[in-house]
Amino acid sequence: MIYQGDSIRVEFVEDGIAELQFAAAGSVNKFDQKTLEEFSQALTELANNKDLRGVIVTSAKPTFIVGADITEFLTLFADVEQTKVWVAKASRVFDQLEDLPVPTVAAVAGFALGGGCEATLACDYRVVDTSAVIGLPEVKLGLIPGFGGTMRLPRIIGPDNALELITTGKNNKPEDALKIGLVDAVVMPEKLRDAALSMVKAAVSGDLDWRAKRQPKLEPLKANDTELTMTFVTAKAMAAAQAGKHYPAPHAAIKAVEDGAKHGREEALNAENAAFVGLTQTDACRAQVGIFMADQLVKGKAKKAGKLATKEIKRAAVLGAGIMGGGIAYQSAYKGVPVVMKDIRQEALDLGMSEASKILGKLVERGRMDHKKMAKVLSSITPTLLDDGVKGVDIVVEAVVENPDVKGKVLAQMESVVDDDTIIVSNTSTISIDRLAKNLKDPSRFCGMHFFNPVHKMPLVEVIRGEKTSDETVAAVVAYATRMGKTAIVVNDCPGFLVNRVLFPYLAGFAGMVDEGVDFAGIDKVMERQFGWPMGPAYLSDVVGIDTADHCTVVMAEGFPSRMPRDTSSAIAKLAAAERFGQKNGKGFYNYGVDKKGRPAKEKAPEVYEMLSIGDKQLDADEIIARCMVPMVNECVRCLEEGIVASAAECDMALLYGLGFPPFRGGPFRYLETVGLDKFIALADKYAHLGEMYQVTDGLRDMAKSGKSYLAG
């Protein structure tokens, strides 16, 4: 044994050939600070071993290395000087691997991401098996590669390919990686280790010139000034178009590569270090790392629910076909849970099957599915007009019209048909689960399961626990949602639940400005371009449906009469009364149609300006953002204080996945803490005269006074 640590062991496996194996105690290998120290120690031992002739780098796990330990990041990055020291020291460990006086070969199975990929780049050769996924996804955390990736990758695959991979964070399958020279060979899994040994022996014997393979990584980029200029101009234009101004990491990556292009390894690595440290101090990085941590929390809870679930969902039923029912049925069947789609009208069943077929057809067109798989998924959906068709299912998802009386009758009817242990859920967006539960004899097996439209694209499912919902029911429904490929967040019952409850104060803040004569298109422009929403509140209202939004104001007013009163003279109510329902009938705040090329198009509706008496009143961007966002953040705080959602992190993820909250802001609570609690309170107090939804809670004031964080722990 040459070296033995907690996460790394090194030993000779053949004459002069050593194996450096990552073998962490947990389920995956990752570069935490301790592992990096062991890595350096192991490489020092190898460098000093006089019998060494070659090294293969392997993993004892089914996957290679998933990257750096992100759980350490937020604490580490809080101190910029500490971060500078850490990244400089850590990145030089990879230089130790690259500087070994013998040939090195990485043998990669499964994920080699971030730091895992960078470890392979420091080797002379890379052989992967067919399960490998290799890439540098750091930009998705608001960062760039920090262990030499921006320096080595351009010198291995060329700056054009390297910049595309680094600035997009794209992962690569083996065949794609081989095409661009990112890896040197692809083999079947059972041949991986032997292939690595064979390759290192060929290098030892001189059949492969490993020194020539290594040398370009130590030198400036081999490209002339004109080529480099074109490369960086193109990359900057692509980053500006795709990432925009809110995401600094892709731009910083380009600058790091550019700054290091004409220099050798040390100066190029210094450029990377400087760019990396700068990004760690940005709000975008904190937000995106926070998203990762929150996502891990939510997935951990879902995994725990799967283990606690006493009932496995093997067969499902959807009540109510059409676009929503068809979308739910498709998602269940596509993810391997056969489903019965029940409706009282054949036309609705036809529409539901058509919706599922349309989604699958697009996958076939894009090459992501073949016709055989499409036929298999469609055959897993059984349309029926008969109640008896749902007998024997494990779960029934009610997705009929958003009317409590209609839903109540359907739920009661289904309870009389299905087995005594069949779980019954309602896909409702606003109606109280406890109210619907009164229609059932056994409310313990009933809860809400709120999907977002379009079902196949939107990742969130709100699982709404009623007063009498059992823990077993919640666990089984979370497990089913997870199997459907969704992120399930459990919330307690209240009008609008979590996502729609906090959305309506946001829309009310918008409507209040429109009622004062502020241009709705100008508000959209600010909320999209400056705040970062995928669509502004006017456009969002059109997409949701003005009639739907107006109906929901009734529900919210019943639940929160003082904070969310219904105003029949508001912009939303006026448009609904005029049957301007939004995208669904081609007219809302905007008019919808197609352009000359047949693509969907929207334009401001002149008649709406007249109808709503919108003049030339202007508000600055900061005021527009405040009047929309203060009510939303306040309502999120209330939901947390009332126990509607269990944690600030889960609230952040719900709005990211359910509404498209700008990822670079990290969610409502991350946004609140980025603004600063004291500053937010002062901002809210400035608008407190506009109504209760602008007034902060005593709990928020107490948090600010105590200096505590909603996202701590």
State the catalytic residues.
Answer: 450
- SS3 string, 345-359, reads CHHHHHHHHHHHHHH
Q: Kindly give the pairing relationship between strand 54-59 and strand 17-22.
A: parallel
CA dihedral 467, 470, 475, 478 (to 10 degrees): -40
Alpha carbon distance 297, 649 (integer Å)? 8
Q: Radius of gyration (Cα) for the chain, nearest Å? A: 28
CA distances from 33 to 112, 288, 321 (A): 18, 21, 53
| Ramachandran area for residue 269 (φ above 0: left; ψ -120 to 50: alpha; else beta) | alpha
CA distances from 210 to 44, 116, 150, 206 (A): 20, 21, 21, 8
Structure tokens at 14: 């053949």
- Amino acid identity, residue 675? V
Give the list of residues 6+ apart from residue 416 with CB closer than 8 angstroms, or none. none
Alpha carbon distance 584, 604 (integer Å)? 16
| Ramachandran area for residue 392 (φ above 0: left; ψ -120 to 50: alpha; else beta) | left
| Residue 199: how many other CB atoms lie within 10 Å | 25
| Residue 634: how many other CB atoms lie within 10 Å | 24
Alpha carbon distance 648, 712 (integer Å)? 9
**374, 323, 377, 364: which is closest to 347 by C-alpha?**
323
CA distances from 15 to 31, 191, 192, 362, 669 (A): 29, 20, 19, 55, 58
| Residue 266: how many other CB atoms lie within 10 Å | 12
Give the list of residues 6+ apart from residue 83 with CB closer than 8 angstroms, or none. 76, 77, 277, 280
Give the list of residues 6+ apart from residue 657 with CB closer than 8 angstroms, or none. 458, 459, 460, 487
In the sheet with 111-113, reading across from the earlier edge strand, the strands are 111-113, 133-135, 171-172
Q: CA end-to-end span of the chain, whole Å?
A: 40
Interaxial angle between packed helices 159-168 and 225-242, expressed in degrees from 0 to 180 and rounded to the nearest 10: 20
Which DSSP letter does residue 597 get?
Answer: T
Chain-centroid distance of CA 388 in Å reads 39
Alpha carbon distance 582, 575 (integer Å)? 9
| Residue 528: how many other CB atoms lie within 10 Å | 17
Structure tokens at 599: 């693509």
Residue environment code for 38-76, b if the CB has 16+ CB neighbours within 10 A, otherwise e = bbbbbbebbeebeebbbbbbbbebebbbbbbbbeebbeb
Structure tokens at 38: 């062991």
**Cβ(145)–Cβ(134) below 8 Å:** no
- Strand, helix or coil for residue 272: helix
CA distances from 109 to 130, 133, 189, 668 (A): 8, 8, 7, 38
